[in-house]
Amino acid sequence: MKKVVVTGLGAITPLGNDVNTFWSGLVNGHSGAGPITKFDASKFKTRFACEVRGFDPSGQLDRNEMKRTDLFTQYALVAASQAIRDAGLDFSAMDPFDTGVIWGTGQGGMQTFEDQVTEYALSGAPAPGSGGAAAPDGPGSGPQPRFSPFFVPKLIANMASGMISIKYGLMGINYTTVSACATSNTAIMDALTYIRMGKAKVMVTGGSEAPVTQASVGGFSSMKALSTRNDDPTHASRPFDVSRDGFVMGEGGGALVLEEYEHARKRGARIYAELAGAAMTADAYHMTATHPEGLGALRAMQLALEDSGINKEEVDYLNAHATSTPVGDLSEVQAITRLFGADPENLFISATKSMTGHLLGAAGAIEAIACILSIRDSILPPTINTLNLDPEIPAGLKIILGSAKTASRPVRVAMSNTFGFGGHNGIVVFRRIS
């Protein structure tokens, strides 16, 4: 089985619009939360989010690319361009069929959908349920419903992967994964599999999401999934804390260049880490709630370690899914303690969503980057805002609170957990290259 390594990274996040700024924000415990600026949220129950700030794609995308793409695709294109540049890839010297793109998004072009349906409703369209009755003067008379010719291309979820391949002429495997908040890890796992099988030499993978919209915030709020700490947004996301009250919406994208090891070595590429293994399972339990005993998550972690050929005692760092919801955090803790024990000697845990918010389908991508950089620097990012651990969490779990931890030994193995509505569990494992 072919070894797969990471040779390029790119990130657009609430903590910064490049990998170094993002990593600095994590290590220094910064919060990306603040009042929503993308729409008037004054009447919403939750009025804050972790927005991407200062994003200007004009330097990397031309006018037509910007006009014809939703924000989630723009995040994808810019993050991917960073990763490709970071990897030092020269596609002109490569067979275009050797490189593919597998990208992930949970929602796709949500803002495009909102804008176009609003325009339709205001353009003289028949009222819903009216049967589409014609205007009094007959078909074709009166105001006509208006839709942009770019509505469907901007909306559909696969357009991010499609546009990345078009921009760089990548003619290999190309598609999009959707598994809610496990989406990015699904994409990464699929990309890993194709390289292992010899179906590709290089894959651009990751995920992007632009969910700070009225429909997304309103929908998650109606489920009581979002924190309502409107008076203190920067301290709202508090995973594992006894007073946690929901997640904070985030947005952005993360990109990884995965490469077959010998291909990377022969071209002299800088290698961040090995993508040692991955696994997915399903809870088969509930539409939105995780299994209360974490059975699906537990099995996914076990399978990911088996796929990696790594013993559980070798895992140094775990980036928890931990979104700051009352039920979800504890079910993940159950899974972790069942696998690693209540007092594991070498394992340290943190929840970086306390800083970035929850990027939904893009969460796994930026958290994979956090794992990779923790291996590179042997620095473990913290969980911020958590002052009083839930008493149901075993005291022996080493959850990094408040400030980053410099590891006492090189970080060799890092695991990233993601779980999504529908019961999707996706785990990826990275290992230091010796």
**298 found inside a domain:** yes
pLDDT grade for 434, boundaries at 50, 70 and 90: confident
Annotation marks residue 181 as catalytic = yes
Is 371 an annotated catalytic residue? no
Q: Where are the beta strands (DSSP E) in 173-244?
A: 174-177, 202-209
321 included as an active-site residue: yes
CA-CA distance, 23 to 366, in Å (whole number)? 10
pLDDT tens sequence across 45-104: 999 999 999 999 998 899 989 999 999 999 999 999 999 999 999 999 999 999 999 999
Confidence of residue 1 (pLDDT cuts 50, 70, 90): confident
- Whether residue 329 contacts residue 239, with contact meaning beta carbons closer than 8 Å, is answered with yes
pTM exceeds 0.85, yes or no? yes
**Residue 147: inside a domain, yes or no?**
no
3-state helix, strand, coil in the chain (%, to 5): 35, 20, 45
* Measured distance CA(350)–CA(399) in Å, rounded: 6
- C-alpha 66/C-alpha 56 separation (Å) is 10
CA separation for the pair 45, 226 (Å, rounded): 9
Mean pLDDT of 340-364: 97
Helices 110-121 and 214-222, interaxial angle, to 10°? 100
Q: Kindly state whether residue 118 falls inside one of the protein's structural domains.
A: no
- Out of 30, 263, 321, 424, the active site residue is 321
Catalytic residue among 181, 263, 371, 424: 181
CATH number at residue 187: 3.40.47.10
For the stretch 375-424, pLDDT in tens is 999 999 999 999 999 999 999 999 999 999 999 899 999 999 999 999 99
133, pLDDT greater than 50: no
Residue-wise pLDDT for 291-301, tens only, equals 888 999 999 99
Query: What is the model's pLDDT at position 293?
Result: 87
Range with lowest mean pLDDT among 48-62, 142-156, 230-244: 142-156
Query: What ranges in 341-423 are assigned the alpha helix state H?
Result: 353-356, 363-377
With respect to residue 141, please indicate whether it lies within any of the assigned structural domains: no
126 within a domain of the structure (yes/no): no
pLDDT computed for residue 146 by the predictor: 79
Cβ 329 vs Cβ 240: under 8 Å: yes
- Residue of 198, 172, 175, 177 lying closest to 4 (CA atoms): 198
What pLDDT is attached to residue 134? 46
The larger pLDDT score, comparing residue 123 to residue 178, is at 178
Q: What residues make up the domain containing 191?
A: 4-113+152-431
> Does residue 280 register a pLDDT over 60?
yes
Confidence at residue 87, expressed as pLDDT on a 0 to 100 scale: 98
Contact by Cβ (8 Å): 132, 142? no
- pLDDT tier at 135, thresholds 50, 70, 90: very low
64 is a domain residue:
yes
What is the percent of the chain where pLDDT is above 90? Answer: 89
- 125 or 299, which is more confident? 299
Q: Closest Cα to residue 239, out of 120, 358, 340, 159? A: 358
Residue 187 in domain: yes
Phi, psi of 86 (to 5 degrees): -60, -35
Interatomic CA distance for residues 67 and 70, integer angstroms? 8
What does the mean pLDDT of the chain come to?
Answer: 94
Number of domains in the chain: 1
Q: Mean pLDDT, to the nearest integer, of 156-160?
A: 97
**Structural domain contains residue 409:** yes
pLDDT at 136 over 60: no
**Would the pLDDT of 349 be above 60?**
yes
Q: What's the CA gap between 262 and 275, in Å, rounded?
A: 14
Which residue among the candidates 263, 291, 358, 424 is catalytic per the annotation? 358
Show the 3-state SS of 246-269. CECEECEEEEEEEEEHHHHHHCCC
